[in-house]
Structure 1
Amino acid sequence: MSFEKTAKRVLPASNVERAKRWLGLTDEQNNLSGYLFVLPNVIVFSIFLLAPVLYAFYLSFNEWNILTAEGTWVGLQNYVSVLTPLPWENNWAPLRDPTANLWWYSMKNTVVYAVGTVPLQIYGGLAVALMLDKRIRGKKVYRAAYFMPVMLSGAASAVIWIWLLSSNGIINSFLQPLGLAHNWIGDPSTALGGLILMAIWGGIGFNMILFLAGLQNIPDELYEAARIDGASRWHRFRHVTWPNLGNTSFFVLVMAIIGSFQVFGTALVFSDGGPYYSTTTVVLLIYQRAFEEGQMGVGAAMAFILFLIIFVFSYYQYRYRKSEEVEY
Structure 2
Amino acid sequence: MAFEGGERGTTDERLTARLRTGVGERLGTSDEHDTLVGVLFCLPNLVAFSIFLLGPVLYAFYISFHEWNILANEGTWIGIQNYVAVLQPAPWANDWAPLTDPTANTFWYSLKTTVVYAIGTVPLQIYGGLAVALMLDKRVRGKKVYRAAFFMPMMLSGAASAVMWRWFLAADGIINSLLPSFLEHNWAGDPGTALMGVMLMAVWGGIGGNMIFFLAGLQNIPEELYEAARIDGATGWHRFRHVTWPNLGNTNFFVIVMAIISAFQVFGIALVFSQGGPYYATTTTVLLVYQRAFEEGAMGYGAAMAFLLFCLIFAFSYYQYKNRDQAEVGY
Scaled by the length of structure 1, the TM-score of the pair is 0.89
Q: Which residue of 1 aligns with 2:285?
A: 282
Unaligned runs of 5+ in 2: 1-29
2:143 alignment counterpart: 139
TM value normalised by structure 2: 0.88
Between the two proteins, what is the percent identity of the paired residues? 75
- Give the distance between the partners of 1:93 and 1:73, measured in 2 at CA: 31
Partner of 1:264: 267
Distance 1:118 1:170 in 2: 26
Q: Which residue of 2 aligns with 1:185?
A: 188
Which one-letter code corresponds to 1:161 in the other structure? W
Aligned to 1:20: none
Q: Which amino acid aligns with 2:70?
A: I
Distance of 1:115 and 1:49 partners within structure 2: 29
Q: 1:327 deviation in Å? A: 8.0
From the superposition, tell whether residues 311 and 300 of structure 1 become closer, same or farther in structure 2 (CA, over 3 Å). same
CA apart distance, 1:38: 2.3
Q: Secondary structure at the match of 2:91?
A: coil
Deviations 1:97-136 (A, max 9, x none): 0000000000000000000000000000000000001101
Q: 1:236 aligns with which of 233, 236, 239?
A: 239
Partner of 1:124: 128
- The CA distance in 1 between the partners of 2:260 and 2:198, in whole Å, is 15
Between 1:293-302 and 1:82-91, the stretch displaced more is 82-91
Would the aligned equivalents of 2:246 and 2:329 in 1 still touch at CA under 8 Å? no
Give matches, 1:219-258, under 5 Å: 219-258=222-261
Partner of 2:304: 301
Q: Distance in 1 between matches of 2:307 and 2:322?
A: 22
Give the Cα–Cα distance (whole angstroms) in 2 for the partners of residues 104 and 299 of structure 1: 14
Alignment of 1:205-224 (within 5 A): 205-224=208-227
Q: 1:44 aligns with which of 45, 48, 58?
A: 48
Aligned to 1:106: 110
In structure 1, give the amino acid aligned to 2:111. Answer: M
Q: Secondary structure at the match of 2:67?
A: strand
Match of 1:179, SS?
helix
CA RMSD of aligned residues (A): 1.4
What is the identity, as a one-letter code, of the residue corresponding to 2:272? V
Question: Matches of 2:74 and 2:216 in 1, distance apart?
Answer: 50
Deviations 1:218-249 (A, max 9, x none): 00000000000001111111111111111101
Deviation at 1:69, TM superposition (A): 1.0
Matches of 1:268 and 1:120 in 2, distance apart? 22
Structure 1 residues 302 and 275, CA, compared in 2 at 3 Å: closer, same or farther?
A: same
Give, in angstroms, the shift of residue 28 of structure 1: 4.1
State how many pairs are aligned.
300
